[in-house]
Amino acid sequence: MNQFFQNVWKGLNSSPKYLESKYFYDEAGDKIFEEIMECPEYYLTNCEREIFQKQTAALTDKFLSQLKEFDVVELGAGSAAKTSYLLKHMVSQGIDFTYYPIDISGNVISNLTKNLPAKIPGLILHGLNGDYFDMLDELKLMSDRNKVVLFLGSSIGNINLEDTEDFFRLLRSHLLPGDMVLIGFDLKKDPQIILAAYNDKEGITKRFNLNLLKRINKDLDADFDITAFEHKPVYDAETGACKSYLVSSKNQSVRIGEVGRIQFNKGESIYMEISQKYTVAQTDTFAINSGFKPVHHFFDSKNWFLDTLWQAV
C-alpha cells in the first residue's frame, strides 16, 4: 500500500481524526492555493510581497555582506511569485548564482522549470522535486557554494510549535557554517484579522480543505460526501495557534477503497492544518537554540509579517 493511503488510513483511525497537510498539494490543490494567496483576506502574501518588492536591494546587500558567493535554494517554492522580485534583481546586478527551487509537487517544479527562465532572462534554474531534506542532501553533490535558503510564506507555521526547534535543528544539520536562511514568520495580531485569512468570504480556503477529501476519493477510491463537511478555523490568541478543521454535519460512514470504512459522528472533526503565529522574540530564540545567529529582521509596513535572516554558526 502506498504512503498516501497509509497516512490517510492512520489519521482517520486516530482519535481525534487528522489528515496530513502536505497532501493538500495535488494539481488542483496547487491551483486553489494560488487563489488563496491572492484573496483580499489572506494578508500574508501581500505583506511578504511588499518586503520583496520594496526591500529587494537590502535583502541582496545583506546576503553579500556575509557571503562572497552563494546559490539560492527555496523550500516549498510554489509559484515563486515573491521570490521572482529577488531573482530579477540579482540577475540584473550580475550576481553569479543558481536558483534551486525544491517542492514536493512535481507539477510545481515542472511549471517553474518551464516558465521562470522565460520570465527572467539569464536566470539559471535547477528544480528539485522531493522532500526538503533529501533534496538538500542531493544539492550538496551538485554545488559546493554556500547557500541562501528561503523558507517563505510562514510555511514554518504549518509545524506544531513544540516541533519547531527540532525542524530548525534538522535544517541546520543539512547546512554548512556560513550558510544563510531567510524565513517568513506571520506575527501575532488582531485575532479577527487572522481568522478572516483562513475563512475568506468567497470560501476559497474551504474549497482548499475539501479538495483533500476529493483527492482521497479520486486516488484512494473513497466515497466522502464533500457536502457533509464544514470548514472551521479556530484561533488561540495566547498560544498563537490557528487551526483548521473539517466538521462532519451528520452521522456518516465513509468507505476507503476496499480496505474498510471510517465512522463519523455528527459534529466530529478532522484536524487539517495549523498556521502558527509568533512574536519577534520567539523567532530569535528559535535561531539561537538551533545553531543559527539572527542577522537582520525585515518587516512589512504594518509590522504584521517578518522575514528574518539567520546565518548558520
Question: C-alpha cell of 137?
Answer: 542532501
pTM: 0.91
Where b means 16+ CB within 10 Å and e means fewer, 154-176 reads: bbbbebeeeebeebbeebbebbe
Residue 14 has pLDDT above 90, yes or no: yes
User: Mean pLDDT throughout 174-187?
Assistant: 97
Q: Which uninterrupted H or E stretch holds 308?
A: strand 305-312
User: Mean pLDDT throughout 2-18?
Assistant: 96
Model confidence pLDDT, tens digit, residues 40-74: 999 999 999 999 999 999 999 999 999 999 999 99
Q: Which of 286, 216, 219 is nearest to 246 (CA)?
A: 216
Homologous superfamily (CATH) for 43-190+280-312: Vaccinia Virus protein VP39 (3.40.50.150)
Model confidence pLDDT, tens digit, residues 129-179: 999 999 999 999 999 999 999 999 999 999 999 999 999 999 999 999 999
Residue 105 has pLDDT above 90, yes or no: no
* CA–CA dist 181, 255 (Å, integer): 44
Give the model's confidence band at 1: pLDDT under 50 very low, under 70 low, under 90 confident, else very high: low
User: Mean pLDDT throughout 89-111?
Assistant: 94
Model confidence pLDDT, tens digit, residues 229-278: 999 999 999 999 999 999 999 999 999 999 899 999 999 999 999 999 99
Q: What is the mean pLDDT of the chain?
A: 96
The percent of residues in the chain predicted with pLDDT above 70, rounded, is 100
| Structural domain spans, the chain | 43-190+280-312
Give the model's confidence band at 121: pLDDT under 50 very low, under 70 low, under 90 confident, else very high: very high
